[in-house]
Amino acid sequence: MSSAPKGPLSSPNRGCRPTRRSWTPSRRIGKDRTSRLEDIFDITIVGAGPVGLYALYYAGLRDVRAKIIEALDDVGGGLKVLYPEKYVYDVAGYPEVMSKELVRQFERQARTYGMPILLGQRVTSLRRRDDGVIELATTGETHVSRTVILCVGGGAFIPRTLDIPNVKRLEGAGVFYYIKDSAWFRDKRVLVVGGGDSAVDNALLLQSVARRVVLIHRNDRFRAHEQSLQQLIASGIETHYPFWEVKELFGEDRVRGVTTVNTFTGDEMSFEIDALVLNLGFLANLKPLREWGLELRYNGIAVDELMRTNIPGVFAAGDIAGHPGKIKLISTGTGEAAVAVNNAVHLLYPERQVEPEHSSHAKRPDPR
C-alpha cells in the first residue's frame, strides 16, 4: 500500500492525542440518545448494511461515540434492497435465515447503545483536514469525525441489463433485476436469466408461487452455490444452457413475451411471459472512492491487516475492503468491522488496548 502523510491521528506518540473534553461516553449521552449530536464523533461509519450495523454496535461495546450515515432510506444494504426474501445459509449461528429477518436482528443489535443512524444521506466527499479531523459532506449536511469506517458493500452498484429494445422501457412493468415481493409473481409466467446465486435462488423462490418458471444461461457452468444447484436439479425447473440468451422482448404496456436464441446453433425458442428477471450481476462504481484519494486494489479499497486505508484515520471493512486472501461473506465482514473498530479506538485513545475484554464480561446497557 502506498504511504500517506502522517498526521495527529495517525501517530498518537507525537503528543497530539485527541482530547475527550467534547464527548460523553455513549452509555451516558442522555435521554434522547437517537438525536443527531453536533460535536465531533469518535467514529463515523458509512453504510448501514450488516457490516456497518455491526460496526456501530461494536463501537458502543467499546464505549466510544459513533454514528452511521446511510444513503438509502432504510438499513440493510443489499440484503434489504435486493434480496429481502432470499434465505442466507452461511451466517454463523443460523442454519438458514431469511435476509429481511437477518437485517432485523442486525438493526436490533446496532441500536443497543442508542447511537444515531442517519438515513437518506449520501456521502459525496471525504476530506482529512490539517488538524486530522475528517470531514464528510453528504446530500444533507457536513459531518466531522475523528475516524471513519467505510462499510459500503461493493460501492455504488448498477445492475447489468440487456442491450435490446424495450428492456429499459418495461422496467417496473415486468422487467426486474431483483425480487422484493414474491407475491407479485403469483400465477405469473417468468423467465429468469443468469447463472449465479441470484438467478438460481430466484428461480427456486418463484417456483412455489409462479405458474411457470424457465431459467436460461449463456455459459456451460453455473456460478451458484453447490447446494443451490442441487436444489435446482431436483426442482424440475425448465432450464436451458449453455449459449441461451434473450434476443427480443415483446410488450407495449407490460412484458408479454420473449424470443431466446442459442448463439452456438442459431436455434430459437419463444415464450409467452409476464415477467423477465435479469440476474446478470452488477457493475460496481468505485470512481467516487478514487476521487476521495483512497487507494483501490483487489476490487476494493486497499487495506492493511488493521483495516487501515492509505488515508490516516480512515478504515474499511466488509466487501469494499480489499486485501490478499479476501473472502466476501457477512461473517468475515463482521470480523473485519471488529478489527477496524478496535484499532480506531486504540488510535484515538492509546491507553485503551486494541484487544478488548471478552464481551461476556461487559455490562449490557439498560433496555431502552
CATH code for position 187: 3.50.50.60
Task: Establish if 133 belongs to a structural domain.
Answer: yes
Domain boundary among 261, 280, 299: 280
Phi, psi dihedral angles at 87 (to 5 degrees):
-90, 145
Same domain, 153 and 165: no
Give start and end residues of each alpha helix (H) in the chain.
50-61, 77-81, 99-110, 197-207, 226-235, 287-291, 330-348
Burial 114-123 (b: 16+ CB within 10 A, else e): bbbbbeebeb
Mean confidence (pLDDT) of the chain? 87
Same domain, 139 and 190: no
Contact (CB, 8 A) for 316 and 301:
yes
Same domain, 125 and 200: no
Task: Establish if 337 belongs to a structural domain.
Answer: yes
Same domain, 47 and 124: yes
Domain boundary among 220, 255, 280: 280
- In the chain, the amino acid numbered 344 is A
Same domain, 102 and 37: yes
Task: Establish if 4 belongs to a structural domain.
Answer: no
Q: For 329-347, write each residue's pLDDT tens digit.
A: 999 999 999 999 999 999 9
Say how far apart CA 259 and CA 278 lie, in whole Å.
15
Contact (CB, 8 A) for 45 and 53:
no
Same domain, 153 and 168: no
- Residue 340's CB: how many other CB atoms inside 10 A? 32
Same domain, 16 and 149: yes
Instruction: Pick 159 or 107 by higher pLDDT.
Output: 107
CA distances 64 to 29, 47, 110, 208, Å, are: 11, 18, 14, 47
What is the pairing mode between strands 238-240 and 212-216?
parallel
Same domain, 209 and 321: no
* Residue numbers of the domain that contains 323: 12-157+283-361
- When mean pLDDT is compared across 27-31, 73-77, 113-117, 341-345, the lowest value belongs to 27-31
At residue 15, the pLDDT reads: 32
Instruction: Locate 46 and state its grid cell.
Output: 458509512
Task: Establish if 237 belongs to a structural domain.
Answer: yes
Task: Establish if 7 belongs to a structural domain.
Answer: no
Helix axes 99-110, 50-61, angle to 10 degrees: 20
Task: Establish if 294 belongs to a structural domain.
Answer: yes
Same domain, 229 and 266: yes
Same domain, 150 and 36: yes
Residue 11 in this model has a pLDDT that exceeds 90:
no
The number of domains in the chain is: 2
- In the chain, the amino acid numbered 316 is A
> pTM here?
0.70
Same domain, 145 and 124: yes
Top mean pLDDT of 88-97, 195-204, 307-316 is at 307-316
Residue 362 in this model has a pLDDT that exceeds 90:
no
Confidence of residue 275 (pLDDT cuts 50, 70, 90): very high
Task: Establish if 5 belongs to a structural domain.
Answer: no
Domain boundary among 222, 245, 280: 280
At residue 22, the pLDDT reads: 35
- Transcribe 147-187 into DSSP letters: EEEE--TTSEEEE----STTTTTTBTTTEESS-S-GGGGTT
Task: Establish if 104 belongs to a structural domain.
Answer: yes
At residue 12, the pLDDT reads: 35
Same domain, 16 and 84: yes
Residue 153 in this model has a pLDDT that exceeds 70:
yes
The DSSP letter of residue 361 is G
- When mean pLDDT is compared across 98-107, 157-166, 299-308, the lowest value belongs to 157-166
- Transcribe 52-118 into DSSP letters: HHHHHHHHHHTT--EEEE-SSSSSSHHHHHT-TT-EE--BTTBSSEEHHHHHHHHHHHHGGG---EE
